[in-house]
A = this chain, B = another copy of it.
Amino acid sequence: MKNFKLFSPTDYRYGVDELIDYLTEESFIKYKIKVEISLLETLYDFKICPKYVVDEVKNASKKIKAEEIYREEKRIKHDIRALVNVLKKYVSEKSKPFIHLAATSYDIVDTARSLMLKEATEKVIIPDMIELEKIFIKLARKEKNTLQIGRTHGQHAEPITFGFFISLYVERWGERILKVKETKDNLKGKFSGAVGCYNGLRLIVKEVEKFEKKLTEKLNLTPSRISTQILLPEPMVDFTHSIISSFSVLANFSDDMRHLQRTEIGEVGEPFEKKQVGSSTMPQKRNPINFENVKSGWKTFMPRIITSYMDQISEHQRDLTNSLSQRYIPEILVIFDSSVRRIKKITENITVDKKNLKRNFDISRDKVIAEPLQILLSYYGHPEAHEKVRKLAMKSYQKNIPLTEIIFQDEEIKKYLKKFKPEQIEIIKNPEKYTGIADKKVEKICNLWEKKMKEIQNGKC
């Protein structure tokens, strides 16, 4: 049964089940134990501890529950020492001294945190992002020739295609996937001790940097080139930035889709389940609640970057004012991933309403020729084409005669029209053809990102 005696909506409402094995407190403890084991394995590699110690601790690790460690922490007020105490309880007297040997708490904590975030990103976040990218690609291709009026300032501008609109998200989202990938790969491990000089380790090991490298590589991490008691903060702030700037892309997409769903526009429709209720008093309504939810999630977690920037400041060899704050980093990933999944699900089944797309385009069908006209007039030598077309547009508006008609009556314009090539005249007469290279661009972008997604999935990129 789910628990509702909780304060945080992340747990009672928005959590992603697939992330439980990576980003909960229980998993964090699991990762910390994993680092302690790597330490023992490296001690063994360096011939400092016997093999049985490693084995005993591995066995012990299976029996330990978060609960027990928390109980010990309550007693001694130190989380890592609590973990160490509990581990020691489960091993032989001879093994005890090797546990946590020469380590400082944050050798374990920071390395474990890098590990948990990296694995969650590799196993869940990036795969989810890739799936969404594929849906974007599919949709862009499918609608690459679907005419849509382009909008700037919320005003009709020149025509594009719906697929072209989507392909912009193919590009932006693709780039963010690469950025997330790059920054998670840059999360580091450390084993440099209480102030970063390997003071303790150096007592018992000569090649301390080699030791650190070996230990972190067992966890598929690279060691930080230098560190204090804690890891340098920049890899983490870059990682946070990559997630939040990706979240912004979803927020932009959500805003776009919300507005395209407006009653008066109606170019897209969020899928709606049969039993779903749109409003408690207005049963006719179909609200874009999923896009609204994603925007709201972005508004809630985007400002967390401020925390990350503040966490770049840690006095001297570290102060602890980043302890609570860092514990909240996994949550950003959870809500981000929950939003990715939401957008994926909705976009997969989105309705593109071609009738409305056409209807909306037709509102401005006539007016959009102002731009090509002005360009062609200039091209053929008109010195003030912009001003000329502006006046014609005004006249069209005032006299209520279509611009497409007025221009063929205007004496000055007629002289220029004679110079136009047939395909140029064609566009002036059929503004729906004025879509530039929309379709080709869609193909180009989609092909590129389809290829890159494959490369990532095959581990080549």
Contacts and interface: CB of A to CB of B under 8 A. Distances in A.
Interface in A372-393: 372, 374-386, 389-390, 393
A139 to B, nearest CB: 15
A35 interface: no
A102 B385 CA distance: 11
A199 interface: yes
Contact of A226 (B168, B249, B315): B168
A322 interface: yes
A12 interface: yes
A409 interface: no
Interface in A306-322: 306-307, 309-322
Contact of A10 (B8, B81, B384): B8
B2 A7 contact: no
Interface in A398-431: 403, 424, 427
A346 interface: no
Oligomer: number of copies: 4
B437 A198 contact: yes
A89 to B, nearest CB: 12
Interface residues of A, number: 195
A100 to B, nearest CB: 7
Nearest to A83: B280
Contacts of A48: 379
B370 A318 contact: no
A424 B67 CA distance: 39
20 contacts: A4-B24, A9-B25, A77-B275, A77-B289, A78-B276, A88-B383, A93-B383, A102-B379, A104-B279, A150-B197, A152-B287, A153-B289, A160-B196, A175-B234, A198-B437, A280-B386, A281-B374, A282-B368, A283-B393, A300-B325
